[in-house]
């Protein structure tokens, strides 16, 4: 085998190797594109979770405020009922004294 043939074979091997590398690079580019798309989907889902968490936190705050008001209203009604019962007792007592 002559030097020219050796060089030609070597060049052909290099060309074949480069084609294989180019194929690998193309495959890697496709995988990177898929990874980027997956990352974008994950980021969108994460944004949705953040937004939902914010909505739930706001709802919780509003619900707690309303429950506090209801609790205060019930406490007031209990106090009013107690006062009313006390007044009725006093009136009955006074009526017994008058009889």
Q: What element of type H or E holds 26?
A: helix 3-98
32-78 pLDDT, tens digit each: 999 999 999 999 999 999 999 999 999 999 999 999 999 999 999 99
Please compute Rg for the chain using Cα positions. 42
Residue 31 scores a pLDDT above 90: yes
Q: Is 86 left (phi over 0), alpha (psi -120 to 50) or beta?
A: alpha
Q: What percent of the chain has pLDDT over 70?
A: 99
- Name the pTM for this structure: 0.56
């Amino acid at each position: 085998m002559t030097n020219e043939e050796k060089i030609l074979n070597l060049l052909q091997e290099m060309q074949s190797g480069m084609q294989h590398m180019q194929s690998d690079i193309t495959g890697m580019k496709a995988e990177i594109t898929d990874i980027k798309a997956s990352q974008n989907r994950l980021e969108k889902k994460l944004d949705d979770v953040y937004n939902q968490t914010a909505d739930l936190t706001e709802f919780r705050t509003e619900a707690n405020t309303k429950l506090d008001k209801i609790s205060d209203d019930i406490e007031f009604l209990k106090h009013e009922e107690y006062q009313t019962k006390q007044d009725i007792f006093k009136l009955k007592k006074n009526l017994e004294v008058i009889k």
